Structure 1
């Protein structure tokens, strides 16, 4: 009789399985029948990254969430090869009929017409400029951006139009675009946030396996700062007993690298992120898995997750309040500010509409109004 083996960690991947999305009709269950494709050393078969071109219909996403400092965001990619096990965007792959697990970090979609869509949006007569957050759901500077360059095309449009934007990433690839970002920063049009979850390379390697190493992110903070671009550090997520002991050290390292602001988010486990994180804990930290989840539940009113706007980012209760005090006191001691105020202070008054706008598919116009040329 065969028995199911617990899923094993895969080198270079955050998720350890390809769990079903919540909209799938058929139910699948793992079962070890002895015909495993694992290699002789017991390593699971590798997952190859696939990037598919997508021609999106819209590019700007609007929200009314009171707990985030922006109303408009732009994401050049669906899915993210960084493979962060805690990523709150993982459940969005369920809408595509794919798994929020390994599929999310290996089956990616590149919005190849993102810059054209942005130009058309900014050229609309009724468009009112608001600061745009770039790379909120999935990292705009994930590995495939090196070849695709979609994020750079988007920034070129924003640079041309003097449109304010904030970027959040955990990739050093953002340094490539300093030639565009530095002049924008000089006009008060751009700021950046670098996510720094841990300073421990061993933890980072399993928690966010294909993102830049912690030391490399600190160097990116320094490089951006020296170019005149204001940088905040995002200490997110704070995971009890795993990254939580490092709060003060992370903030001090970020400040020493030049970060001028900071914010944090405690671990969020919406939808399929919850079972994926449980699997990750059992694969990498089995000896403390129960302690971690007990503390998480203490901060979530006894549940694994509560999506209520009033506490989903920071939690509630004694332990959540302790984290808040530790974070706040350290930020004050280091002379850092909050990220929300810096993002909201970006200047919208310099905006100018694009002069050349790509025609919608099937039409032959190329000016900002969409009117055909007479000659």
Structure 2
């Protein structure tokens, strides 16, 4: 293992050289993003910084942009989001994945509304529901210009290469954080954090880093060693288990039956098709009612810790009173407006498969 900063001077001058070079580059090359204020502009409102940071976790900038705009149009202030109906927020979040983030978003908004404003310190921000170390540091630095050590995946990669930290992830993260702390300036910490993110996203990329354009190249130990692309070292991935289950497409009078999933757990609080319990076990339970089912095909979807093969089962026009009580409490959603139901991606895939099958039978 290359000790953190073993050949990079630990002097204040060296720290300043790195941060000055990065900030000078950022002043010219900062990405213009919907949630960002550029260098020299008034700081962004903490609500907008927080909202964007929560959305950007495990999600790309390109995907987040339209969601961010729709959320702000519908809930322009944190107080508006705090007063929103849970179901409306979950539906608006559909497609972004990692749905616990949406539940935490609501809990945090309601706590901020109760407090009257976002806390202005990293320590205070950490006390809010759902804010981990990264998000608290990012909001403190970007919205409040507090010195905070902000380490996302892009910063992690830049710093691992800059200091040639070759311990495999995730064990390397404490050393990476210490190294990031060493080069984070006391002033313009928010610009520095965003500059490091931009550098990782556009120059110090996962593959084929553009080292000749990098402002930190003179200081980069990984570049000096001639193989920056091998860093950070990642532990071998374990194969994900495959779960199997069934989802049930039940039509009546041009509508499909949707249910609301329990508030906690996998896809909690979301509208969905009835299923057989695949989220809790390797193989699901039986069908929700005794009727003539036919196969609609298989939906494959990857979650963080497992892959899912979901067998879609179809039936049409069940008799009134034939549904079990728990399904009678569901809602009949018009097929013509299924996109507005806010289904999680796996069930949206199943809906498209069912509609394609229906169109094939009718066409």
TM-score (norm 1): 0.26
Question: Greater CA radius of gyration, 1 or 2?
Answer: 2
